[in-house]
Amino acid sequence: MQQTGKQSDPELRLVVREASHALATLDADRLEELALSCQALSRNFICAVSAQSAELTRQASDAVADMAIFARVLEVTRANLNVMNRLRLLRQGPAEYGQDGSILARRN
């Protein structure tokens, strides 16, 4: 990609692939770095001249399939988290409910 300022921006497609990998391996440090890269890409997109906008548009078009995969990884991760939360609640035992339907306590 073209130079913008002091450093070149990573290809959006590469960022999305790395984000998918970092999420799959629960690499929080790398996810944070990628979030900062995405913020930089967003800033550059807003400030870009037409030639840079065309390049970012090309990158976005090239990254559509990878972004769809990343969206699916996020969806599956969210579903896995829901399952883990349900299992944790099941291990805590049955719930005691108040008159308003709220959970008062868990019995072991």
31-83 tens-digit pLDDT: 788 888 888 877 776 665 566 677 778 888 888 889 899 999 999 999 999 99
Q: How confident is the model at residue 4 (pLDDT cuts 50, 70, 90)?
A: very low
- In the chain, pLDDT over 90 holds for what percent of residues? 13
Q: Which residues, including other chains, have CB under 8 Å from residue 61's CB and lie 6 or more apart?
A: none
C-alpha span between 52 and 1 (Å, rounded): 9
